[in-house]
């Protein structure tokens, strides 16, 4: 299989995967604070840990194979978070189990089977599960980096790898046994590598494209549920924009591709909703209750009537979109160099935290530079590739923005989670654009020096 790829691609893939795995698994590169790295995972994985306990004392498909919490109810009682881990690590048992009905949780089944079939200590298994998750996430991002390498060369790929290693949010999510970061990228990667093999419009096999779309969306739904679902689906269009501009396809072709992806993605999403409904109905005893729950949950995270909810949920539905967006642009860290660099100079220490607003400015500046200098040479392949990447990059910002528009309520409440959408895939493409623009500038200097 590896013999089909050039040696340089295989080498970069292996190196990137190893570096990313270390970063995701143990925060090797200090992208996240040591305590925050541990606390974030502990708080966000407790439902899967509880699922492991329940699967161990019953079976992996009991209670619909749904995540949940043991010996507690929703909202969680004080001390319930730590109790999930204590019971699992000490081979204890729950008296009761309250299900979490918003995710399919295929990883709970997989890890539950491994847990039941191995004789390892629970603590060892937990490390194993984090390792598996880190490797899969590293493989997904390494595959994307190798695409950047084959399309644009070493520098853009190196820029993307460098950002991925130093991204606080990719590091937090990378080894999460609950979120399964790799699954968010699966639909986009499927379309990306399919279209990369298509040189002319007549080569597009829409049946194959539909199968890739349906399969990857189902994989996403199985392993990360409907978390950031609209972002994952929007990401599938980004490769289409890149190849549409680069290969100068007709408008009807891109409409046909996008329509095919949209219908197929909808089909995959409906299959996942059917699976989740079946799981919920096995617990509630009614398909009607399952559907009502899904509608209720969708409403509280998007455009539900605030009168039907209370507390934070009601407040989130009446929150102002611009204030929510302001938080995610100006108040969040994209890169936190303060974990690696210590300085007694206040100005330097203050600028070690790089916010998303600064990345927007950087990408806009790079784009402007490209448009200014590209007026001298618009015939080269390097120009067309850089231009295509630029269009794809700025189109990709619509994926995270779609989340803040359609699921503003979720973003309002879950500030400890939703910054990840900027990496899906806007910031990754943005850093590739930086590297590619440098390549283009160097090529112009060489051209003018002749």
Residues 238 and 363 in one domain: no
pLDDT per residue over 355-364, tens digit each? Answer: 999 999 999 9
Is the per-residue pLDDT at 171 higher than 90? yes
Residue 187 lies in a domain: no
Is the per-residue pLDDT at 73 higher than 50? yes
Which residues is 335 bridged to in the sheet? 167, 354
Is the per-residue pLDDT at 110 higher than 60? yes
Q: Tokens 């303060």 correspond to what residue?
A: 338
Give the SS3 label for residue 70.
strand
Residues 341 and 223 in one domain: no
**Whole-prediction pTM:** 0.93
Is the per-residue pLDDT at 382 higher than 90? no
**How far apart, in Å, do the first and last CA atoms of the chain sit?**
43
Mean pLDDT for the stretch of residues 124-144: 97
Q: Please identify, among 179, 212, 235, the residue that sits at the C-terminal boundary of a domain.
A: 179
Residue 184 lies in a domain: no
How confident is residue 390, by pLDDT bands cut at 50, 70 and 90?
very high
If you count DSSP H runs as helices and E runs as strands, how many of each does the chain have, helices first? 22, 4
Least confident of 87-91, 150-154, 398-402, 443-447: 443-447
Residue 66's pLDDT is 96
How confident is residue 144, by pLDDT bands cut at 50, 70 and 90?
very high
Q: Which of 419, 417, 309, 270 is nearest to 354 (CA)?
A: 419
pLDDT per residue over 298-355, tens digit each? Answer: 898 888 888 888 888 888 999 999 999 999 999 888 998 877 776 666 666 667 889 9
Residue 195 lies in a domain: no
Residues 6 or more apart whose Cβ sits within 8 Å of residue 143: 13, 189, 193
pLDDT per residue over 44-67, tens digit each? Answer: 999 999 999 999 999 999 999 999
Residue 326 Cα distances to 34, 172, 329, 358, angstroms: 27, 22, 5, 13
Residues 327 and 444 in one domain: yes
Task: Please give the structure tokens belonging to residue 240.
Answer: 């289409």
pLDDT per residue over 198-239, tens digit each? Answer: 888 888 999 999 999 999 999 999 999 999 999 999 999 999
Residues 162 and 16 in one domain: yes
Q: Which of 333, 48, 51 is nearest to 171 (CA)?
A: 333
Residue 26's pLDDT is 95
Residues 134 and 215 in one domain: no
Contact 231, 286 (CB under 8 A): no
Residue 246 lies in a domain: yes
Q: What is the mean pLDDT of the chain?
A: 92
Is the per-residue pLDDT at 1 higher than 60? no
Residue 116 lies in a domain: yes
Residues 430 and 335 in one domain: yes
Residues 237 and 375 in one domain: no
Q: Please identify, among 148, 179, 210, the residue that sits at the C-terminal boundary of a domain.
A: 179
Q: Please identify, among 149, 179, 209, the residue that sits at the C-terminal boundary of a domain.
A: 179
Contact 189, 210 (CB under 8 A): no
Residues 343 and 393 in one domain: yes
Residues 71 and 175 in one domain: yes
How far apart CA 244 and CA 356 sit, in angstroms, is 28
Which residues constitute the domain of residue 404?
321-450
Helix runs in 248-355, H state only? 251-284, 287-301, 311-317, 321-330, 346-350
Residue 255's pLDDT is 95
Residue 6 lies in a domain: yes
Residue 309 lies in a domain: no
Which residues is 70 bridged to in the sheet? 97
Residues 42 and 162 in one domain: yes
pLDDT per residue over 34-43, tens digit each? Answer: 889 999 998 9
Residue 350's pLDDT is 66
Residue 262 lies in a domain: yes
Residues 258 and 345 in one domain: no
pLDDT per residue over 235-292, tens digit each? Answer: 999 999 999 999 999 999 999 999 999 999 999 999 999 999 999 999 999 999 999 9
Helix runs in 308-425, H state only? 311-317, 321-330, 346-350, 356-373, 381-396, 398-406, 408-413
Residues 294 and 427 in one domain: no
Residue 2's pLDDT is 45
Kindly calculate the radius of gyration of the chain based on its CA atoms and give it in whole angstroms: 23
Total domains in the chain come to 3
Residue 318 Cα distances to 155, 228, 326, 415, angstroms: 45, 20, 16, 16
Residue 377's pLDDT is 66
Q: Which of 260, 217, 253 is nearest to 235 (CA)?
A: 217
């Amino acid at each position: 299989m590896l013999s089909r790829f050039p040696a340089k691609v295989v080498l970069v893939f292996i190196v990137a995967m190893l570096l990313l795995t270390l970063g995701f698994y143990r925060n090797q590169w200090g992208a996240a604070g040591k305590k925050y790295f541990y606390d974030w995972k502990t708080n966000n994985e407790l439902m899967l840990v509880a699922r492991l306990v329940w699967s161990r004392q019953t079976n992996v498909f009991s209670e619909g194979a749904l995540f949940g919490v043991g010996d507690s109810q929703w909202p969680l009682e004080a001390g319930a978070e730590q109790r999930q881990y204590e019971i699992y690590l000490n081979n204890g048992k729950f008296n009761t189990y309250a299900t979490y009905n918003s995710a399919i949780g295929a990883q709970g089944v997989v890890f539950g089977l491994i847990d039941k079939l191995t004789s390892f200590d629970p603590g060892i298994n937990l490390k194993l599960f984090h390792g598996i998750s880190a490797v899969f996430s590293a493989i997904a991002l390494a595959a994307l980096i190798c695409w950047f390498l084959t399309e644009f060369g070493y520098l853009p790929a190196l820029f993307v790898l460098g950002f991925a290693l130093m991204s606080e949010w990719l590091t937090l999510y990378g080894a999460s046994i609950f979120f399964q970061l790799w699954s968010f990228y699966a639909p986009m990667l499927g379309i990306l590598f399919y279209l990369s093999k298509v040189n002319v419009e007549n080569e597009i096999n829409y049946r194959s494209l539909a199968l890739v779309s349906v399969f990857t969306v189902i994989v996403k739904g199985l392993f990360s549920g409907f978390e950031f679902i609209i972002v994952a689906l929007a990401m599938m269009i980004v490769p289409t924009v890149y190849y549409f501009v680069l290969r100068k396809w007709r408008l009807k072709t891109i409409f046909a591709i996008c329509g095919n992806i949209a219908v197929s993605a909808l089909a995959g999403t409906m299959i996942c909703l059917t699976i989740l409904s079946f799981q919920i109905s096995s617990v509630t005893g009614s398909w009607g209750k399952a559907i009502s729950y899904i509608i209720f949950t969708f409403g509280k995270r998007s455009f539900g009537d605030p009168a039907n909810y209370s507390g934070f949920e009601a407040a989130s539905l009446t929150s102002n979109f611009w204030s929510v967006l302001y938080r995610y642009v100006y108040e969040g860290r994209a890169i936190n160099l303060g974990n690696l660099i210590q300085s007694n100079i206040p100005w330097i220490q203050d600028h070690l935290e790089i916010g998303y607003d600064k990345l927007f400015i950087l990408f806009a500046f790079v784009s402007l530079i490209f448009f200014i200098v590209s007026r001298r040479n618009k015939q080269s392949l390097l120009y067309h590739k850089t231009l295509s990447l630029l269009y794809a990059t700025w189109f990709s910002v619509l994926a995270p923005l779609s989340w803040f528009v359609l699921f503003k309520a979720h973003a309002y409440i879950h500030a400890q989670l939703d910054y990840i959408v900027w990496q899906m895939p806007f910031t990754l493409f943005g850093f590739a654009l930086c590297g590619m623009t440098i390549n283009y500038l160097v090529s112009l200097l060489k051209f003018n020096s002749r």
